[in-house]
Structure formats: structure tokens, C-alpha cells
Chains A and B, each alone.
Chain A
Amino acid sequence: MTVWEKLRPYSMVAPSIIIFSMFFIYPIFYMIYLSMFDWNFVSPTKTFVGLQNFKELLLDADFRQVLSNTTIYTLLTVTLTTGLALMLALWLNRKGVFHAFVQGAIFSPHIISLVSISLLWSWLMDPEYGLLNWAIGLLGFGKLEWLSHPSTSLVSLVIVAVWKGVGYNTLVFIAGLQSIPKDIYEAAALDESKPWTTFMKLMLPMLSPTIFFLVIINMIGSFQVFETIAIMTQGGPINSTNTLVYYIYEYGFRFFKIGYASAAGVILLGIVGILTIIYFKLLSKRVHYR
């Protein structure tokens, strides 16, 4: 083996590894480092403050609200998206041009820029002239303020997230359903299994890897929600839609409290990290079906 042959694999992975180290791995440590300093970005000196930033964060009522907003938003979005998607998948899991068209239609928001979706839904949710108020009017409800009222703003954002994500989730579920061999259902039919039993005892357990996958990636995604908030609500009204990433963004780029924002970033890192570890733990336990 020549020297070059030995070096070849390293040279092949090097560009990627350098990029990842520079822009993904190193920043993590840099962020942890920054979280222990007080720094306003322009001043040449950083003051070491230890865990002071974290203490301040946890004492800050706004931040606690941000955490609770993010958690509520995440829980609602994840349950609704995954649950609805599972039901839709059971319904739409059929071959044929028409079903393919329906699947395509519900998937389409997934490939559209969040900017477009945010702007479009801001208009749909317009309290005065929005289509949504017209639609619920047809059903006999009065006008809602949607994004403009603290009691409905967060739920409105959840609706947008579900609308965008449910199609993708549905198609992932359909892919999961299609990987279940047909003869399993036939065996169940011969075993006098009722549809509900077949669903609970066979389909759901066999779909569990897919469910875990979707729940975790939806959770990780929801914890980092930013675009819809930046465009639709800017965290308002009265902080009712302020979430973690938007909070970090504001403290970093508007108030230039880099250390403080970094500390919030570290907390987000912790949450995402825990979710990721849970996912991999479940993944390693995941049964491999033939």
C-alpha cells in the first residue's frame, strides 16, 4: 500500500469534515463558551460571568413565558400533526391516480417557502377581511382575531404548522403502511381479527418506528420554530407567541446581548440534544422486520 493509497480516504472526507467542524461542531463549543460571558458584540472585551446568564434567564419571567410558549406550541403541533397524519394515511393509503393527486395536494405546502406560507396565512387570518373568518362565518361562528389576540395567537401558529406539515407526515405514514406485507393482514383475517384489533395489535406496533421518527423530528422542528413567528407575529401580541429561537434572535441581533442569547441557545441545545438521544435510544431498540 502506497502512502497515497493510505491517505486517499482522508483526502476524500477532509473537505466535508472541515466544513462540518468549522460551521457546526466548533460553533457549538463557541456558543457554550460565549454563554458564560457578558458581551455586547461591539466592545473589544468580554467579561466572564460564569453561570450568571443562565441564572438571569431562569429568573426572567419573559423567558419562562418563552419556554412555556415553545412547549405548548410543540406539544400541540406534534400531537395534531402526527395524529391527523395517521388518520389521513389510513384513509388515503390507496393506489390510483386520484389518490396520488390528493396525496400530492396535501403534500404541496411542505415544499413551499415558509415566507410564502406565513404571508399567505397572515392574510387568511386577517381579522377584518380574511378568508378564515368568512369560512367560520359560513359555519355560524363569529369573527376571530386569530394572530392579533393573545388567547388565539399561539393556536393560530399551530394551525399553520399543522397545515404545512400534515401532508409530509401523512406520506411518511403511507410509506410505512405500504412496507407492511399484505399477507400479515390475510393471516389476521383468518385469525378472525376485527378491524380494530388488527389496527391496535398489528398495524400500530408495526408503525411504531415511523411514529417515533415523526414525533421526534416534529418535536425537534417545532422547538426551533422561527419563520412564522418572525413574519406573522414578531413574538406578540404581548409575548404570547415568543419562542426560543425568536428570543435568541432578538437578544442577539436586536439587543446585542450575545452572552445572554448564547445561554438561551445552550438551553435549546440541551432540549434538542435530549430529544435526539431519546430518538437514537429508541432507534437502536427498533425491531428490524424482514
Chain B
Amino acid sequence: MAQIELKHVSKKFKDDVVIEDLNLTIKDGSFTVLVGPSGCGKSTTLRMIAGLEKQSGGEIWIGGRCVNDTAPGQREVAMVFQNYALYPTMTVRGNIEFGLKNKGIGKQERQTLISDISEIVGLTPHLDKKPQNLSGGQRQRVALARAMVKKPKVFILDEPLSNLDAKLRNQMRTELIQLHKRLGTTFVYVTHDQMEAMSMGDEIVVMDKGMIQQADSPLKLYHDPVNLFTAQFIGTPAMNVMNIRDVQGLELEAADRVGFVGFRPEQALIGVNKNTEGYCLEGEIITSESLGAENIYQIKTGSGVFFVKTFLESLVKTSRVSVVIPYEHLYYFQSDGERIREVYIRSQQLVSAGGL
């Protein structure tokens, strides 16, 4: 059990600044997911917590202890690698046992620990096999078992599911969530997949260009993004964004200048509903995908091309449609991407007047 704190952490590779002044608290017992596009510094952050990479500045605290000068093995963290990093010359048992042996744990105790763990992850029949004779999912379990057996304070997982096929990935996702519940240990998880992040994490840290964009619960991130990056990064399809120049019939009053207006595809309504007050766009459906429960339309309007998602409705067949976004579902951003929350709409266009 341990809380992780990163204080003013920075990382430079030669002259490249990868991470600058990063401050983050990962709560004890949380399932925290670091997510962001590739090269955003999430893996580097993770590796610095594990001690595989030394930060160029700042401090890292794990469980109330500054680990700046602590070797990776002594930080009481365990890691699951993207490519599993299993020891190819050792059996599954050997892989799990290696860390225990190095810790100087007695043979008897090792035996019990290994049989317990392999029971949990379902590896008991494979204990004497070599990793290269295992399937991807089994290797993943060995990597997990190897990490778990050390009873670490912190679990670190670096894109552990990216090498699995889609079906297995979903299964392992659930297993990991259950595992976290059972162990109650702090999990720090890195992924570039926002869906994975949303479905697994109870805390999500969105990163971009070496900076934390937002650290919040999944729902908070979705409903209340603090900036344009998070707004667009979370959700599929991504949030639709219009430059203020393309927005017509909407006079806004705010403390800061509004640069962009956005709305989520699933919050727009297709077909005019006279009772809804909102911003209205008219356009042409260029593509429509039906996934059964939901339909996704691509609509070309005078303000650009947008996605609209509907649930449990029949597919709209007409090509020209009007789309209404209730005012409370509009998001406003400054031109630098910062969210503006206090916006008053001075003149509301009439729905029937149309957006063009």
C-alpha cells in the first residue's frame, strides 16, 4: 500500500526535454492510468517511478519515502512489461521464483508462494514450461504472477495488453480489474488507448507533450474536461470542435475570448425537436455507420464536418438533416485550448432559423 508522489519531476534525454516540472499524486490503492498519444512522456514517467530511468530533476516519493536514490529492486514496485520481458532460459516457475531467490526467501516459503500465485492466475499446469512454449495470454499471466508474487506496494504496468488480440485483451482487462480489487494495491497503468483507460482506471492522468493535461476520474474527464486536448482525447468519436469564426448565430459573452466551441457527438440530436433549445446546424449526411445499438453519422455542414452518434434509434435515411445541440452541452475553449466555463449566451438563435 503506498501513495506515489512526483514533485517537480523533469526528464531530459541529452538536450531533449521530455518531461518538465511534473507534479502528480497517485492515491494509495487507486488504479491510475496514464494515457496519452505516443511520445507524451507517459512511459518515461512510469519508468522513472520504477527506477529504470533516473529523473533529471525533482523527487519521487513512494509510500512516504523518497526513492530518488533507491535502486529499482528496492522500491517495492513490480512491473509488467509490454513485451512481458520473461526470462527465456527459465521455466515459468523459475521466472516467478527469480525475484524471491534474490530476496533471499527460503525454499519452503517460495514453494507456497509460487503455488498460491499460479493457482490465482491459472498457471499451475504450465509451471515447468519455458515461456516460448506458452501462448500470448499465458505469457501475460506469467508476467503478472512474477510481479504479484513479490507482494509489491505498487504495480506498474506498461501497455501490458497491447500484444494480445482483441478478444483476449477484453478478457485480460476484466481480469486485471478484478485483480486490482482483490489486491487493493496501487496500480499504475500506461496505455495509449483512451477506451482502455476509461474502462479500467479509477483515476486517469491525461498527458501530452510531457505535461499533465488533466488528472481526474473517468466521468469527470468525460463530462468536465479542463482543456481542448482532454476534451478531444477522451470519447469516441472525438468531440466535435468548431473554430469560433465558423460559428454563426451564437453571440457569447465571457471573461476570456472564446476560440473554439465543441460538442460531443452523442449529445447532438438529429431531426428538429421543437422543444429543445440549442444550437442548430444544418447539413448533409455523408456517411452513416450502424453498429446495431448505435449509429454514427458524418455530417457536412457550413461550419465543417461533424460526427453525430445516436443510440437505439432507427437509422436516419434522409440526406439533409438539422442537428441540434442543447446549449448546456456546448463546451467553450480559449484559443490556447483552455476551457471557459462561465459563458453567457446573449442572443439565442431560433431553432427554426437554422444554422446557416
Q: A184–B87 contact, CB under 8 A?
A: yes
Candidate in A188, A205, A206 with the most chain B CB atoms within 10 angstroms: A188
B83 within 8 A of A: yes
Residues of the A chain whose Cβ atoms lie less than 8 Å from the Cβ of B150: 191
Stretch of B66-74, B264-272, B318-326 at the chain-chain interface: B66-74
Name the A residues within 8 Å of B79 (CB-CB). 186-187, 190
Q: CB-nearest residue of chain A relative to B87?
A: A202
The answer on a CB contact under 8 Å between A194 and B88 is no
B77 at the interface (CB under 8 A from A): yes
Alpha-carbon distance A278/B260, docked complex (angstroms): 73
Question: When A190-B50, A192-B99, A192-B102 are in contact, do A289 and B78 touch as well, CB less than 8 Å?
Answer: no
Taking the closest CB of chain A, its distance from the CB of B160, in whole angstroms, is: 12
- Residue from B51, B73, B88 within 8 A of A191 (CB atoms): B73
Q: Pick the contact of B89: A181, A205, A290 (CB < 8 A).
A: A205
Q: Nearest B residue to A192 by beta-carbon distance?
A: B73
In the complex, what residue of chain A is closest to B158 when comparing beta carbons? A183
Find out whether the CB atom of A193 lies under 8 angstroms from the CB atom of B85.
no
Contact of B85 with A181 in the complex, beta carbons under 8 Å: yes
Is the CB of B311 closer than 8 A to any CB of chain A?
no
Nearest CB on B from A247, distance (A): 42
Q: Across the interface, do B88 and A290 meet the contact criterion of CB distance under 8 Å? A: yes
B74 and A181 within 8 A (CB): no
Q: How large is the interface on B (under 10, 10 to 19, 20 to 34, 35 or more residues)?
A: 20 to 34
The answer to whether B89 touches A206 (Cβ under 8 A) is yes
Choose one: B73, B77, B85, B102; the contact of A184 (CB below 8 Å): B85
Contact with B along A127-140 (1 / 0, CB 8 A): 00000000000000
Closest CB-CB distance, A25 to chain B, in whole Å?
37
Question: In A35-75, which residues have CB < 8 Å from any B CB?
Answer: none
Q: Does A151 contact B (CB under 8 A)?
A: no
B81 at the interface (CB under 8 A from A): yes
Task: Please tell me if A7 contacts chain B, counting CB pairs below 8 Å.
Answer: no
Given contacts A187-B81, A189-B52, A201 and B73 within 8 Å (CB-CB): no
B83 x A181 contact (CB < 8 A): yes
- Asked if B132 contacts A194 (CB within 8 A), the reply is no
The answer on a CB contact under 8 Å between B98 and A201 is yes
Q: Is B132 in contact with A189, judged by CB distance below 8 angstroms?
A: no
Pick from B73, B86, B130: contact of A189, CB below 8 A: B73
User: With a CB–CB cut-off of 8 A, which chain B residues contact A289?
Assistant: 88, 132
Q: What is the distance, in angstroms, from A212's C-beta to the closest C-beta of chain B?
A: 14
Name the CB-closest residue of A to B94: A201
Kindly state the separation between the CA atoms of A270 and B329 in the bound complex, as whole angstroms: 86
A192 to chain B, nearest CB (A): 3
Q: Closest Cβ of chain B: how far from A272's Cβ, in Å?
A: 30
Q: How far is the CA of A181 from the CA of B87 in the complex (A)?
A: 10
Asked if A186 and B71 make an inter-chain contact with CB atoms under 8 angstroms apart, the answer reads no
Chain B CB within 10 A, most for which of A186, A190, A206, A289? A190
Q: Does A287 contact B (CB under 8 A)?
A: yes
Residues of A158-189 at the interface with B, using a CB-CB cut-off of 8 Å, are: 181, 183-184, 186-189
Shortest CB distance B143–A (Å): 9
B87 contact set on A, CB distance < 8 A: 184, 187-188, 201-202
Please, what's the 1-or-0 string for B235-263, where 1 marks a CB less than 8 Å from any CB in chain A? 00000000000000000000000000000
Q: Is B103 an interface residue (CB 8 A)?
A: yes
**Nearest residue, chain B, Cβ from A204:** B89
Known: A193-B102, A201-B98, A202-B89. Is A186-B132 also a contact (CB below 8 A)?
Answer: no
How far, in Å, is B110 (CB) from chain A's closest CB? Answer: 13
The 10 closest A-B pairs by CB, nearest first: A192-B73, A191-B99, A205-B89, A183-B85, A187-B85, A192-B102, A289-B88, A189-B72, A183-B81, A186-B52
Interface pairs (11), CB distance under 8 Å: A186-B52, A188-B87, A189-B73, A191-B98, A192-B71, A192-B99, A193-B98, A194-B102, A201-B90, A289-B88, A290-B132
- Excluding A190-B72, A287-B132, 12 further A-B contacts by CB distance (< 8 Å) are A188-B98, A189-B52, A190-B50, A191-B99, A192-B73, A192-B102, A193-B102, A201-B87, A201-B89, A205-B89, A206-B89, A290-B88
